[in-house]
Amino acid sequence: MITKIDNINKSQYNALFKEASQALSKEINSLEQYFENIQELAKINLKFTMLPLDEGMFDINPNTGSIIFPDNFQNGNLCS
């Protein structure tokens, strides 16, 4: 996982930082601050561990072992 902020995803991360700041009752303004607090954020809600924001998520069912790949991953012909 490579997580970086650029001009395309900046608004997504700013929204995440705002929500994380509210959840922790402290200011989060950067990825460094975010990762410093990720364990505490995970205790609040696991959605805070779903990074990077600008990539599709894999849906893994632990009961059946089935994996649903994100559309952008399948389009790269990496799945068969």
Please, which pLDDT band fits residue 75 given cuts at 50, 70 and 90? low
Q: 48 with 55: CB under 8 angstroms?
A: no
SS3 content of the chain, % helix, strand, coil (to 5): 45, 5, 50
Examine the pLDDT at 27 and tell me if it is beyond 90.
yes
State if pTM tops 0.95. Answer: no
What is the spatial distance between Cα 34 and Cα 19, in angstroms, rounded to a whole number? Answer: 11
